[in-house]
Structure 1
Amino acid sequence: MTSSAVHVVCPSCGAINRIPPDRPAKQAKCGTCHQKLFSGKPAVANAAAFERHITRNDIPVIVDFWAAWCGPCLAMAPAYERAAAELEPDFRLLKVNTEEEQSLAARYGIRSIPTLMMFMHGREAARRAGASDMRGIVSWARAQTTDKQRSASVN
């Protein structure tokens, strides 16, 4: 994580938690509901939870836009879950069902599923359409943040 406190949204209750730099984030618990902030699994998000996570987390948020009828989405689900275990606590991973949250899918122009999107501080930072294995998801996520950090330090 970073050398300063990081704000993380609880996937269970939505409370915003401050994790000091001297505390191990993987073991952090929510100050409100006392659930683990990082479970090693993607959090299922409705529109309100999605909005809160992408705007209030200091860590990058990766969202899997998927649907229950989509074969590639179902095939990728176990890989996405393993990626969550690998990427937390540096990333928050969410799942958004496009059938249940059609307004979100329309708002972000989701044309094919599965689509992975990365958000940093409320803004789209990267997008990737199509199924991927766990290593592909992890590599893509880390490459995006490395690219963003590199371009920020140049500017």
Structure 2
Amino acid sequence: MENALRLTCLSCGQANRFPAARLDAGPKCAKCGLLLVDGDVIAIGHQRHDKATQTDALPLIVDYWAPWCGPCRTMAPEFAKAAKALRGQARFAKIDTEQYQAVSQRLQIRGIPLLILYAGGREVARLSGARPSADIEAFVRQHL
């Protein structure tokens, strides 16, 4: 497949390949049938986190948060707005650092909320603290 993109389904973990030209057509997961690039924020676990951050063709921005964190809950709607605005340019996910402590330890996360942008199988940049959607969008665009 020429100019194929590889994306991990953030819902079921299935690896999917499809032509880059079909990105705007709304590719679906071959296993569960959900849209791969829908502009929503998907809650993920450690296995999907590791697979998507290391192998996906589209940039992925992950919100590291916890349910007890007030600023994290305040930023959640802003993160969702940014996800809609950047649909097709990046995918958005969140991971609960309380539930998946090994991920936050491995990434040396010292404070939340924390956004990490991944592209090309590596970490590109970090943004700390609760931010409005405009700041999140500018952060992603600046580093892509």
Match of 2:119 in 1: 120
Rounded Cα–Cα distance in structure 1 between residues aligned with 2:51 and 2:21: 25
Match of 1:87 in 2: 86
Q: Which runs of 4+ in 1 moved over 4 A?
A: none
Q: Residue by residue, what CA displacement relative to the aligned partner does 1:75-116 show, whole Å, maximum 9, x if unpaired? A: 000010111111122212110111001111111111111000
Partner amino acid, structure 1, of 2:41: P
Match of 1:67 in 2: 66
Shift of 1:130: 0.6
Partner amino acid, structure 1, of 2:100: E
Partner amino acid, structure 1, of 2:37: F
Indicate if the aligned counterparts of 1:5 and 1:21 stay in contact, CA closer than 8 A.
yes
Match of 2:97 in 1: 98
Match of 1:31 in 2: 30
Partner amino acid, structure 2, of 1:61: L
- Residues 1:132 and 2:115 are matched in the alignment: no
Match of 1:53 in 2: 52
- For residues 143 and 26 of structure 1, do their structure 2 counterparts lie closer, same or farther at Cα, with a shift above 3 Å needed? farther
Which consecutive unaligned segments of at least 5 residues does structure 2 have?
none
Match of 1:16 in 2: 15
Q: Residue by residue, what CA displacement relative to the aligned partner does 1:21-53 show, whole Å, maximum 9, x if unpaired? A: 332435111122211112321111111110011
- For residues 113 and 135 of structure 1, do their structure 2 counterparts lie closer, same or farther at Cα, with a shift above 3 Å needed? same
Paired-residue identity, %: 36
Alignment size in residue pairs? 143
Rounded Cα–Cα distance in structure 2 between residues aligned with 1:86 and 1:26: 17
SS of the equivalent of 1:95 reads strand
Query: What's the TM-score once normalised by structure 1's chain length?
Result: 0.86
Which consecutive unaligned segments of at least 5 residues does structure 1 have?
146-155
Rounded Cα–Cα distance in structure 2 between residues aligned with 1:123 and 1:21: 21
Query: What's the TM-score once normalised by structure 2's chain length?
Result: 0.92
The alignment yields a C-alpha RMSD, in angstroms, of 1.5
Shift of 1:67: 0.8
Partner amino acid, structure 2, of 1:83: A
Indicate if the aligned counterparts of 1:19 and 1:25 stay in contact, CA closer than 8 A.
no
Indicate if the aligned counterparts of 2:117 and 2:126 stay in contact, CA closer than 8 A.
yes
SS of the equivalent of 2:124 reads strand
